[in-house]
């Protein structure tokens, strides 16, 4: 069964009505349970859970240390192209935005790789806008081959592919896939995505399933928080991760909690997601799925990232740039002609992030030993 069918089960579900009926005793009972149901998970996303966030955080810490110890894997994203055929109202790369577009040559990719590897990073995330013309499958394969010369693990955050295409990239060295559904609300999804291949809600929803069938060992999902109702979005993302865990037991499944950041186009989210909600979401997911990788990126501030570490963060980006070829430009102090996909919130160096992790009593890991 596709995860799309699970989403349809909750098509007419009254999330507000459910969470309004949650009691303090319900929350306390669930926090102390060893195994949570879908309804338990939803209960922990209710506003009343804020009354018990300290107890929830303590249980989350105990669970995370039990399953992952005290280590955090560091990675960096490499943006190779800002060309995109999609019109996504919230994205800096949207085709309707009048920005300078760039695509890196293979020589430029290697130049950026040398800089990132020089920071000690051994896990790279390959990112590009969605254009099969500018970043074809052959382009991606050649790029992966270059990345494998510098990094131990290569993950993708590119346009959705067919299963056979994921297999071709797996064969040249890709380890995993990160893809955000953006919003799990199908009606809103159609409003936000008005042009390009991304208009196909179901094809995007089933992307990780196709990568799992191609034997990818890392599968990471999430919703772009701020587009729609916080409770339902985190709930569906959590169910999505659980679905992938059960369907692909060979894979390490992860989840991210990205919040909308300022970008070209000036999109203004109607919903504000505060730091306490991020904490609540991470705790609820960790208690629902004990063994799940949780990623926090430079979308968040250094202060928040530091405070989230004890809640079981297992992956964290460091020294990141969301500009195409941004690492070379940073070193050379070149003028940035093309804008990044979004504005980062934590510009700390890799060494500074490592120091922050050490101070929290954890171990930064540069190489994925999976």
Mean pLDDT over the full length of the chain:
92
Whether 102 and 337 have beta carbons less than 8 Å apart is answered as yes
pLDDT tens per residue, range 329-367: 888 775 544 455 555 555 778 999 999 999 999 999 987
The C-alpha torsion from 324 through 326 and 327 to 329, rounded to 10°, is: 120
pLDDT string in tens for the chain (370-residue length): 789 999 999 999 999 999 999 999 999 999 999 999 999 999 999 999 999 999 999 999 999 999 999 999 999 999 999 999 999 988 888 898 888 899 999 999 999 999 999 999 999 999 999 999 999 999 999 999 999 999 999 999 999 999 999 999 999 999 999 999 999 999 999 999 999 999 999 999 999 999 999 999 999 999 999 999 999 999 999 999 999 999 999 999 999 999 887 777 677 788 888 999 999 999 999 999 999 999 988 777 878 888 899 998 999 998 888 889 889 988 877 554 445 555 555 577 899 999 999 999 999 998 765 4
The CA distances from residue 162 to 148, 193, 194, 201, 295, in Å, are 22, 20, 22, 15, 25
Instruction: Report the CATH architecture of 3-365.
Output: Alpha-Beta Barrel (3.20)
Residue 191 CA to residue 156 CA, distance in Å, equals 26
- Number of other residues whose CB lies within 10 A of the CB of residue 174: 27
CB 265 within 8 A of CB 92: yes
Nearest to 227 by CA among 178, 172, 198, 186: 186
Give the number of C-alpha atoms closer than 13 A to the C-alpha of residue 331, restricted to the C-beta side: 12
CA distance 286 to 193: 30
H/E stretch holding 187: helix 186-192
Domain residue extents for the chain: 3-365
Question: For residue 350, how many other CB atoms are within 10 A of its CB?
Answer: 20
């Amino acid at each position: 069964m596709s995860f799309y069918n699970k989403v349809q089960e909750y098509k007419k579900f009254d999330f507000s009505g459910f969470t309004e009926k949650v009691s303090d005793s319900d929350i306390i009972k669930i926090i102390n349970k060893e195994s949570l149901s879908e309804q338990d998970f939803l209960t922990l996303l209710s506003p009343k859970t804020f009354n018990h966030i300290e107890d929830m955080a303590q249980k989350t810490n105990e669970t995370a240390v039990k399953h992952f110890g005290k280590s955090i894997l560091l990675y960096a994203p490499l943006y190779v192209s800002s060309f995109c055929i999609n019109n996504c109202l919230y994205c800096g790369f949207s085709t309707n935005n009048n920005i300078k577009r760039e695509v890196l040559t293979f020589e430029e990719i290697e130049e950026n790789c040398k800089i990132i590897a020089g920071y000690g990073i051994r896990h790279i995330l390959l990112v590009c806008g969605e254009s099969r013309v500018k970043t074809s499958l052959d382009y991606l394969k050649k790029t992966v081959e270059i990345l494998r010369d510098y990094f131990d693990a290569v993950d993708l955050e590119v346009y959705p592919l067919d299963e056979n295409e994921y297999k071709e990239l797996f064969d040249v060295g890709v380890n995993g896939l990160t893809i955000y559904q953006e919003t799990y609300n199908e009606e809103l999804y159609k409003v936000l995505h008005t042009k390009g291949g991304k208009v196909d809600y179901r094809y995007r929803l089933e992307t990780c399933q196709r990568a799992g069938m191609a034997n990818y060992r890392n599968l990471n999902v999430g919703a772009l928080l701020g587009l729609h109702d916080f409770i339902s979005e985190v709930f569906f993302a959590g169910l999505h991760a659980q679905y992938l865990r059960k369907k692909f037991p060979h894979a390490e499944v992860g989840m991210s909690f990205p919040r909308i950041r300022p970008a070209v186009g000036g999109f203004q989210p109607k919903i504000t997601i505060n730091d306490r909600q991020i904490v609540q979401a991470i705790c609820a997911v960790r208690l629902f799925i004990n063994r799940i990788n949780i990623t926090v990126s430079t979308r968040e501030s250094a202060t928040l990232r530091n405070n989230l570490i004890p809640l079981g963060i297992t992956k964290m980006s460091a020294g990141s740039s969301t500009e195409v070829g941004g690492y070379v430009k940073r070193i050379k102090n070149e003028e940035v002609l093309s804008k990044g996909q979004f504005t980062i919130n934590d510009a700390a160096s890799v060494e500074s992030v490592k120091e922050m992790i050490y101070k929290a009593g954890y171990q930064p890991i540069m190489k994925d030993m999976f």
